[in-house]
Structure 1
């Protein structure tokens, strides 16, 4: 028999086309239903077992565990998902990746897949090129292109291996034992950064008779360890949460793989007997699925303990900055980023409320501070509180500029604009009070009873307004902001307190606090509450609770 040379370039082209198809498939599905999958992950991950089911389902559809992991990291960083439940999604994502193998084993080796891919490519390319103005059809075209390329690449790889199957001698590898095939699967998967592609290569080799089912399963086990390299490499310069998920993924896959590898032959034989499978390809994909199921059953009972273990790790990699949510995520997922901004603004309001009330010493006791230490300590603390608000403003503004570079929908752009109005208004409100903090201190230290009485009225006013504002920043609140009414209330208070001042102006002595100081204090306080009212209004607009 004449030796046929191995067409290396055909095989490599097949691998490249397959990976390129996976990328297009992922992009197409993201375009068709990306937001739907984000909502599914956000909604159905409040329990670990739900996270597993959700991770499995979404990964099976998206055909990308990396994409799902990025989503999980975004939700984790935004505080919308606990680490324990995120671990459940990662476990499910590992199981979801086996869906590709089932498609390939069921369709890829049972028909002329090149002929099958041509109609998909034709329809997909035409839709993508000529229906650009119709986003749904364009993304559907992207999806069909991905599916077509996936099967075309598989056909190239299968044909390249089939042509030389009887000429390749695997004894060079097999003489080292099954662990050599495990290492081979691990290394190749780490190099090509795709367990799905590696499984297709292994199925092609098994179909061509290059390896038996034991050797193929050993490579599958290696591929399951090798696939962790993608997240591991991405976590090197990542956040603490990203490092924790990467470590968890390595532990999940490596531990299960080692245990199953120790009992590899009995496991393969038992599965063959129980399921009575005559097709080695179908047995291999079943073994791959059972491997990932074993991982779930092995770690699910210990996710709570595992979460505590991970939280003690990589504390040095915690992002710096005053913000709690946006520093942990990227702007790649605008919907999640906007949710994170919303959470930050809720905190900013609490900081502003605390700062304003502390400036007015809202303890109900307008007592003078005793001793130089108390005086200076109070000033330092107030400056620190205000500086923190300003640092958060800087971080949020930088994040806002980065988010603007994303392809936002009109609704997302409006929400982002409203959020920035909220931020600016809150900061302006704090600045209004900071500008008269020295006036407040001066009044507190004076013997001017009228000025002290006015200060008491201002305290009561800002205490009422800031406490009332809490409801407008609660996600479950049904309270509606009437900006015009709030401004009118503030102006009415201003007129009343100015009238009170001028009513008692004749009884004042030259040593009392100056009228200009008191009027400036009143004006800045009302201005601060007006800015808060604007923030309340913009905050409701950003959530859609208030329709323009």
Structure 2
């Protein structure tokens, strides 16, 4: 047993028990938050991503979406990481993302208000109810609700254990000295809150701990508020980590998240004394318990911070582009040419519009392959991120054009238009498969780093040669489609023969390199898989060219 004597000498604490209760309670608390959030996400399905994708048309809508999603999944870090991913994939622009990030900061206060409701004594029966729904029902929806309830109960059980572990702290002289220092030097409190949240990776957890410390009297209000501000800064680390190696826009979104909380903390630190008095007044006026007092402080901080900075979203976007300079490559994933009204009034014109959208889709496939070539030579993750973005756009356009053509098929089409319609449906499949093969190539090239399988100079030269020929072949196929050019379509057929021959020759030369020990086994597999994907892209380019030749009724 580890015993610490307090200055008074009459209070004895089992330090081991205190530490075990605290870290065990923290673990259960974190598990409860995550499990409850996962249950809510399971119940919502893919609708969370759709909400962010569809309902962030302007910054204000972004704020509302951020509040809703974060309140639902109980994690501002999760919402921000998802926002960064959507920005990286081109589904969301920077200004929209800033609104979502602001909303996420407000949404995360819901957890603090839940904690403020004193129902810890019912934690165990709540867990029992959740377990009942989880293990005695087979319906997915009921299981999801069971997960939510179980996580809710675990959250409060963890809080109760942490509270028990922290109560002796107020009698510990070293901790008393620390709280006095934080009261005298609020910056120390901000630093402690920031560092602790960076370590725990959850502002909800650190604010929950702060609520329990304040409830047990271990820390006063004046020392609590700077720690709360620091908790909000520390939670930005998740967005920063999520943005590493992603697109320029995603890195800027993560930087805005950091800036937003730093600016808010700076403003509130300037007005710390009146803010502390105001929260103290609210506690007395509304008869708030200590946990709810911190929850109100957290909510007021984030709501006020959003109101203050919302008019300056444009300025924040401008500042972050100066901090992280560079040209932002943005893939427009919105449909541009598909007008549903044309289907009924002029199916032939509707087909022409579908062709224009197919050509856009083809350009994205070509651009994605070009980014793969850059990634091969530079190993710059931004090239890989942009290639993935093109693949996302291809998939989105694939669905939109296919749905549009299905509607067109319900109209009365001439035999010639029916043939065009069939060709377009096939061409869409081919372009979509080109995108898939490009994605495969990017994933293979990423393995060079993870598996430490560098390619030899000769292998790199051969891959570049085959990449360029494949890209040229795909470009000619798409150009022949755009211009209905028989000559270009026939050139595609001859180039594809060269690609097939090149793949066979390169396989042989690479086997020789492997036998000579000039290349590792992992690199050899990677190389062969890349050229195989390039050969398949050549095949799909031929399919597009043959569709053009068929449209022109050229001799076979």
Q: TM-score range by the shorter chain?
A: 0.5 to 0.7
Residue 395 of structure 1 pairs with residue 403 of structure 2: no
1:389/1:427 contact within 8 Å kept: no
Residue 340 of structure 1 aligns with which residue? 393
Distance 2:77 2:386 in 1: 15
Residue 293 of structure 1 aligns with which residue? 303
Distance 1:99 1:57 in 2: 10
Residue 11 of structure 1 pairs with residue 22 of structure 2: yes
The 5 Å alignment of 1:307-318 reads: 307-312=317-322, 314=324
- Count how many residue pairs are aligned between Structure 1 and Structure 2: 382
**Relative to structure 1, is the Cα distance of residues 255 and 330 closer, same or farther in structure 2, using a 3 angstrom cutoff?**
farther
Residue 44 of structure 2 aligns with which residue? 33
CA RMSD, Structure 1 to Structure 2 (Å): 4.1
1:58/1:68 contact within 8 Å kept: yes
SS of the residue aligned with 1:79? coil
Pick from 84, 99, 105: which aligns with 2:110?
Answer: 99
Calculate the TM-score normalised by the size of structure 1: 0.61
Pick from 218, 229, 244: which aligns with 1:210?
Answer: 218
Instruction: Deviation per CA, 1:272-292: give whole Å up to 9, x if none.
Output: 446724434333221111111
SS of the residue aligned with 1:523? coil
Pick from 101, 121, 131: which aligns with 1:125?
Answer: 131
Distance 2:223 2:179 in 1: 8
Deviation at 1:341, TM superposition (A): 3.0
Distance 2:95 2:81 in 1: 16
Residue 256 of structure 1 pairs with residue 288 of structure 2: no
SS of the residue aligned with 1:4? strand
Distance 1:117 1:174 in 2: 30
Distance 1:399 1:345 in 2: 20
Residue 84 of structure 1 aligns with which residue? 95
SS of the residue aligned with 2:14? coil
**Relative to structure 1, is the Cα distance of residues 340 and 390 closer, same or farther in structure 2, using a 3 angstrom cutoff?**
closer
The 5 Å alignment of 1:90-489 reads: 90-106=101-117, 110-111=118-119, 113=120, 115-131=121-137, 133-167=138-172, 170-176=175-181, 177=184, 178-273=186-281, 276-279=285-288, 280-312=290-322, 314=324, 322=370, 328=385, 340-343=393-396, 394-398=437-441, 430=478, 434=488, 436-437=490-491
**Unaligned 5+ runs, structure 2:** 1-9, 330-367, 373-381, 403-430, 446-473, 481-485, 495-545
Comparing 195-204 and 72-81, the one that deviates more: 72-81
Comparing 46-55 and 62-71, the one that deviates more: 62-71
Pick from 513, 518, 523: which aligns with 2:555?
Answer: 523
Calculate the TM-score normalised by the size of structure 2: 0.60
2:32/2:152 contact within 8 Å kept: yes
Distance 1:401 1:135 in 2: 36
Instruction: Deviation per CA, 1:186-226: give whole Å up to 9, x if none.
Output: 11111111100000111111010011111111110111111
Distance 1:340 1:323 in 2: 14
**Unaligned 5+ runs, structure 1:** 350-387, 403-425, 441-486, 495-521, 525-548
Instruction: Deviation per CA, 1:46-77: give whole Å up to 9, x if none.
Output: 11111111101210111011221233233323
1:22/1:150 contact within 8 Å kept: yes
Residue 42 of structure 1 aligns with which residue? 53
**Relative to structure 1, is the Cα distance of residues 434 and 95 closer, same or farther in structure 2, using a 3 angstrom cutoff?**
same
Distance 2:41 2:294 in 1: 30
Deviation at 1:169, TM superposition (A): 5.2
Deviation at 1:492, TM superposition (A): 9.0
Instruction: Deviation per CA, 1:78-131: give whole Å up to 9, x if none.
Output: 43322101110001001111110001012xxx34x1x42223322323433454
Deviation at 1:36, TM superposition (A): 2.3
Distance 1:329 1:64 in 2: 27
Q: Which has the larger radius of gyration?
A: 1
Distance 2:174 2:201 in 1: 27
Deviation at 1:233, TM superposition (A): 2.9
Distance 2:71 2:433 in 1: 45
Residue 470 of structure 1 aligns with which residue? none
Pick from 58, 72, 78: which aligns with 2:69?
Answer: 58
**Relative to structure 1, is the Cα distance of residues 69 and 99 closer, same or farther in structure 2, using a 3 angstrom cutoff?**
same
Distance 1:47 1:243 in 2: 20
